[in-house]
Amino acid sequence: MGAEAVELLSRRHGSGRLRPMKGQRSSVEEVRIGDTRVALAVPSTYMNESGNALVPLVRRFGVADPERIVIVHDELDLAPGAIQVKLGGGLAGHNGLRSIEAHLHTNGFSRVRIGIGKPGGEGADHVLARPSRREREVLEGARELAADTVEAIATLGIAAAMNRFNAKPAPA
């Protein structure tokens, strides 16, 4: 889901074609979102080796503040289609985030979490399974919302994006 949201951002703000970049372990496109220069990237590594792809990007683009790194990823602990913005904190057993933390030596990066729901069986099987038609419709909406969320982070900042996208509906 994270890669799909990043690809959508590439279509919205760039050429729509992320390309392998020499010396990187990712397909990358530099775009502008508002006044902010953004490097969109989809790792070419296995998910549980995401840190190996991120570190060369951090060096290439001179990112000193880990809060400026936004990881867009699926999340078992959120209902299907739910979006949550998070800065730092626990990894909820996500091996890709664990790899990123190990390589950056911090968990202080920003995240856009896309809910895929908790399965009845093994989590890895659920993540790798093809979603049903109904689940796909829900996830397509979430992909759009995740891209909107990244745009808000780039233009308004992480705190404003958290306030906007993490808001809980008022009780009826």
Predicted TM-score (pTM) of the model is 0.89
Tally of structural domains, the chain: 1
Domain annotation covers residue 170: no
For position 82, which CATH number holds?
3.40.50.1470
Domain annotation covers residue 172: no
Tens of pLDDT, residue by residue over 112-138, are: 999 998 776 555 554 556 667 777 888
Domain annotation covers residue 38: yes
Tens of pLDDT, residue by residue over 131-165, are: 677 778 889 999 999 999 999 999 999 999 999 99
Domain annotation covers residue 102: yes
H/E/C letters for each residue in the chain?
CHHHHHHHHHHHHCCCCCEECCCCCEEEEEEEECCEEEEEEEECCCHHHHHHHHHHHHHHHCCCCHHHCEEEEEECCCCCCCEEEEECCCCCCCHHHHHHHHHHCCCCCEEEEEECCCCCCCHHHHHHCCCCHHHHHHHHHHHHHHHHHHHHHHHHCHHHHHHHHCCCCCCC
Domain range for 13: 2-165
